[in-house]
Structure 1
Amino acid sequence: MIAEIGDRIILEAAHLGDLRRIGVITAITHADGGPPYEVRWLDDGRTTLIFPGPEARVEHPAVPARGR
């Protein structure tokens, strides 16, 4: 998994009753963009250091089209 600051990270629910969590990557610890990541969670505003597992995915922000 490779990420950049500003990307969103989504953690899908791993167990019945768990909720999906969405956060924004605020810092990376490796120059190659690999984990762990510092993430600010959108649901509570807390910042944590995470090592994403198989339930995680990264979404890069959409780049606006030029000339429109």
Structure 2
Amino acid sequence: MQASVGDRLLMHGRTVGHEDRVAEIVEVLGSEGTPPYRVRFDDGHEALMSPGPDSVVRHTDTDPAA
């Protein structure tokens, strides 16, 4: 898994009744975009995460011409 600052981390709910969660990656602490990541949720809560197989990085489009 590789990410950059500004990408979104989508964490799928693992049990019935738990919704997917999305957080913005605000800091990449691993080498070359690898975890751990400091993330910020919509409610302002920040956490340090090493995402598991139930997570997906949604890359932001950094090319303004696209």
Q: Using structure 1 for the length normalisation, give the TM-score.
A: 0.86
Question: Structure 2: which 5+ residue stretches go unaligned?
Answer: none
Q: Secondary structure of 2:33's partner?
A: coil
Q: Secondary structure of 1:32's partner?
A: helix
Percent identity for Structure 1 against Structure 2: 37
Q: Which residue of 2 aligns with 1:21?
A: 21
Count of residue correspondences: 65
Amino acid of the structure 1 residue aligned with 2:38: E
Per residue, is there more helix in 1 or in 2?
Answer: 2
Residue 64 of structure 1 deviates from its aligned partner by 3.7
Q: Which residue of 1 aligns with 2:31?
A: 31
Structure 1 stretches of 4+ moved >2 Å: 62-66
Q: Using structure 2 for the length normalisation, give the TM-score.
A: 0.89
| Larger Rg belongs to | 1
Question: Structure 1: which 5+ residue stretches go unaligned?
Answer: none
